[in-house]
Amino acid sequence: MARFVVRRLFVMVGLMFAISLVTFLLFIVALPNGNPAALLAGRLATPAEVHLISVRYGFDKPIWIQYIRTMEHIFDGTAYSYQSGFNVLDEIRAGLPTTLSLALGAGVLWFLSSILVGTLAAIKAGRYTDRVLTVLAMTGVSMPVFFLGAILIYYVGYKLGIIPISGYVSLTQSPSLWLWHLIAPWITLSVLFIGIYSRILRSTILDTINEDFVRTARAKGLSERQVLLRHILRNSLVPIVSLWGLDLAQVIGGGAILTETVYGLHGVGYLAYQAIGRIDTVTLLSIVMLTALCVVVLGALTEIVYAFLDPRIRLQ
Amino acid sequence: MSAASSLLEVEDMRVSFATEDGLVRAVDGVSFSVAPGEVLAIVGESGCGKSVTAMTLMGLTRGPNARIAGRATLGATELLSASEGALQRIRGGAIAMVFQDPMSSLNPVYRIGRQIVEQIRVHDPTVSKKQAMAQAVELLERVGIPHAERRLQSYPHEFSGGMRQRAMIAMALSCSPRLLIADEPTTALDVTIQAQILEELRTLREQTGSGVILITHDLAVVADIADRVIVMYAGRVVEQGTLDELFYDPLHPYTWGLLGSITRVDRDTSEILPAIPGMPPSLLNPPAGCHFRPRCPHAFAKCGEVPELSARAPDAPGHLDRCWIEPEQKRKLRVVGDQIGLASPEPVIA
């Protein structure tokens, strides 16, 4: 276990370095109207002003020095957005509870729903129920978040008035209002994942059903339900568990841009949405770092869950 | 073998499956009985219906596409029409099964002990986990696994093939079955391990008096352990008798072919190992009459009709076969060289 953690830490550092470098270079090299000083100075600035800004922010230094400085600022919490002037770390901290609420709630919802839907589709494979679920899954996968979100807000929020139209109330402020505000975002974010996960689980279960040990389980005298829950389902979970870790990391790292924007949840995704709008490279770079961190940490956690689900897998 | 003393009585069992290509008659009218303490071997090539016969007894071939007919009685229970609930109590209880591939027949994610305990407790929920564990230790010791207590904590992948098959047997024995069905229990194992597993089955039969149905295509295994033998071909029983009758006085040409294709130490090594020419027929569309007719060098006009499975040799009333040829003539025809075998087809002279 200790070796696993140390190894993972090395992987994490390496991965974050690579991602930060690539993202940084993309922003510097591939950004439209490449000169960040000109961008900051505004349309009416004189060349002297642009030069002044360039010197002040260090845009005149070699790229590798710029990179090191930016990373220093991001990791010691002294990075400021050139555009808004706010401390980026503070902004992320402010958004993180909202995003975590969205991600964890939706994550649980889509994981459990996928198990239900996928299992039901598998045991009814080829029959009417399976076909209906297949169509629903495909609909879920191809339904854009902004469309589903808009529909829910208009019909359930505005017409029926059952859910709030927008906004967020923190858990500590009022648990019931927190739940009430998050139900629609959770559903909206989950639909796509339920579609994908349930399809994957269905096919894994159909593979597992033909395994010899399932026949053994029946021959032992177990009921169909026991065979399904203890022997088939347990052996079919690995693929969706690994996906779940990565997708959850994405959402926590600001990946639910559309859901957060549609529902006015001011989380990390919403911050990313604003930063993209004003080409705020420092904020974006920080958010990318957060995503990478989440992916690596949750990836390692997922592997620990793997080893628990399948003892043949050794942590290394 | 009178019906009263038998443990399992199978009468005219028929199993067919509806497939996209048509109806597959996997088992076509099979009857046999097993007495307590008896080892009945069912032999035949792959796809002759021997596994389907066994699985059907356990109710494991039931499904929307399966048609099952006939009777199979174990004590007071008719297995083929029993309810799913009744079958669940019988599976792993009165009838236990050991499968061919011990590598894949155990669930990889659970410890051996847990898998044995699961079976004990599903049949008797009053047994505590602790008691069941103690029983599992005894069972593993009985099938010759050393350090049983520690080994219960192992996962299947930490066991060798032979140990896994022993664990499977231990699991099968956990509820003292009256009938043990072993479906090719030694096929996936090394020859030395094979001998040990067979020894295990023999001791088991002697200690418990359970009946054993041994499904195999390995005649050496049959010779080692069986009391009576059934030879199946394309879903039908073609010959049935005691071990000695089958090996020393085989009456069906297919059995001659099987016996003739065994490797023997006393055979000249330069000879090519004889094989039965041709392929087993498709069960979708089997040949009319005797199913073996297309591969049989001795076929004649009468073989277009299906021969009854009956005693044809006057001196052996329990020795049944499905072949129209007169017993006396058979005893001449089956000698190839100086051993039993299936003669090569006569060269056709144009």
Residue that has been written with the tokens 């039993």 in this structure: B340
Hey, are the CB atoms on A221 and B89 less than 8 Å from each other?
Answer: yes
Backbone angles phi, psi at B213, to 5 degrees: -105, 120
- The alpha carbon of residue B90 is apart from the nearest alpha carbon of chain A, in Å, by 7
Contact predicate A265/A259, CB 8 Å: yes
Query: Minimal CA–CA distance to B137: which of B97, B98, B170?
Result: B170
Chain A contact for B99 (CB, 8 A cutoff): yes
DSSP alpha helix (H) spans, B143-218: 148-151, 161-173, 191-208
Whole-angstrom distance, CA of residue A301 vs CA of residue A245: 8
Determine the residue of chain A that is closest to B171 in CA distance: A220
Q: What is the DSSP letter of B276?
A: -
Whole-angstrom distance, CA of residue A292 vs CA of residue B278: 63
First to last CA, chain A: 8
* Cβ-Cβ contacts under 8 Å, B92 against chain A: 219-222
Query: Minimal CA–CA distance to A194: which of A253, A258, A143, A262?
Result: A143
Whole-angstrom distance, CA of residue A109 vs CA of residue A194: 9
Per-residue pLDDT 10s for chain B (350 aa) are 444 478 999 999 999 999 998 899 999 999 999 999 999 999 988 888 999 999 999 999 998 899 999 999 998 899 999 999 999 999 999 999 998 888 899 999 999 999 999 999 999 999 999 999 999 999 999 888 889 999 999 999 999 988 998 899 899 989 889 999 999 888 877 888 888 888 888 888 888 889 999 999 889 889 989 999 999 999 999 999 999 999 999 999 999 999 888 776 666 666 677 788 888 888 888 888 899 998 888 888 899 899 989 888 888 888 999 999 988 888 888 888 778 888 776 554 54
Query: Minimal CA–CA distance to A188: which of A238, A240, A150?
Result: A150
Nearest CB neighbour to B157, from listed A222, A235, A312 = A312
- The alpha carbon of residue B107 is apart from the nearest alpha carbon of chain A, in Å, by 5
The one-letter amino acid code at B172 reads A
The model's pTM is: 0.84
Burial A162-193 (b: 16+ CB within 10 A, else e): ebbeeebbeeeeeeeebeebbbbbbbbbbbbb
Instruction: Give the list of residues 6+ apart from residue A300 with CB closer than 8 angstroms, or none.
Output: A4, A5, A8, A12
Nearest CB neighbour to A218, from listed B91, B108, B123 = B91
Hey, are the CB atoms on B109 and A211 less than 8 Å from each other?
Answer: no
Determine the residue of chain A that is closest to B61 in CA distance: A215
- The alpha carbon of residue B120 is apart from the nearest alpha carbon of chain A, in Å, by 9
Hey, are the CB atoms on B99 and A216 less than 8 Å from each other?
Answer: yes
Query: Minimal CA–CA distance to B216: which of B26, B30, B43?
Result: B43
* H helix and E strand count, chain A: 14, 0
Contact predicate B86/B30, CB 8 Å: no
- Write down the ipTM of this complex: 0.86
Instruction: Compute the CA torsion angle B313, B314, B320, B323 (nearest 10 deg).
Output: 40
